[in-house]
Amino acid sequence: MPKADVVTLSESVGDNWSKLPTRRTDSTRPAYRADGPGEYEVAGVYVHGVPAPAQAEQRTTLFTIDVDGVSVGHLPELAGVPVDALLDELGTIHVLLIGVRSGDGFLTPDQIIKTVSRIEPNIVIPYGEDDLAGGEAAWRLVARELHGAAPMADSNLNANRRQLPDPVDVRMLERRN
């Protein structure tokens, strides 16, 4: 299982903690778990959690994580388009992880593309589930639309403040179990 100093949980559904890293990278101490709105600073990493608009049957938190001057934002699969005030509260996002899900009650691919355009990240990583019966997964449609073609999956992502791409670069990451 991977190790991490800080673990964030955006959605409070079921026993999600059991699937996440439990140990810090430098010891056997437990990873710090941020699971709601607030400001956290752990191991030189600044985490800012903001409550998302009300979602059916769950509490959702949007996170920005600042590591060495690079701000990573996580917007999970959302039911409503984030308003400008919410995006302003999150601040600048250099690397955006954005969840995409098909079906009623979630943002459409067009709404996600407009949200990404409003955020103006340097790198965007759409993600989601592939287990759809027929058709292409919504997150892959979003990746292709933002990239102009289907981007190749990478095993990792290295980003530093001095070498952030402009305009936006769309990336896909290989799934790790």
**Are the beta carbons of 123 and 165 closer than 8 angstroms?**
yes
In this predicted structure, what is the pLDDT of residue 73? 95
**Token couple for 165:** 């791409």
* Helix-strand-coil split of the chain, %, nearest 5: 20, 30, 50
Q: Give the C-alpha separation, 154 to 140, whole Å.
A: 14
β-pair type (38-42, 95-99): unpaired
In this predicted structure, what is the pLDDT of residue 92? 94
- Output the CATH code of domain 37-173: 3.60.15.10
pLDDT tens digits for the chain (177 residues)? 566 777 787 876 555 555 555 555 566 677 778 888 999 888 888 999 998 876 555 678 999 999 999 999 999 888 888 899 999 999 999 999 998 887 777 888 889 999 999 999 999 999 888 766 556 778 888 888 888 877 788 888 888 888 898 888 888 887 766
Q: What is the DSSP string of 122-161?
A: SEEEEE-----SSS--HHHHHHHHHHSSPPPEES-----G
| Global pTM value | 0.84
In this predicted structure, what is the pLDDT of residue 43? 80
Q: Give the C-alpha separation, 64 to 11, whole Å.
A: 15
The half-sphere exposure of 8 on its side-chain side, counting CA atoms within 13 A, is 27
Peptide bond into 151 cis (omega under 30): no
Of 91, 98, 69, which is closest to residue 163 (Cα–Cα)?
69
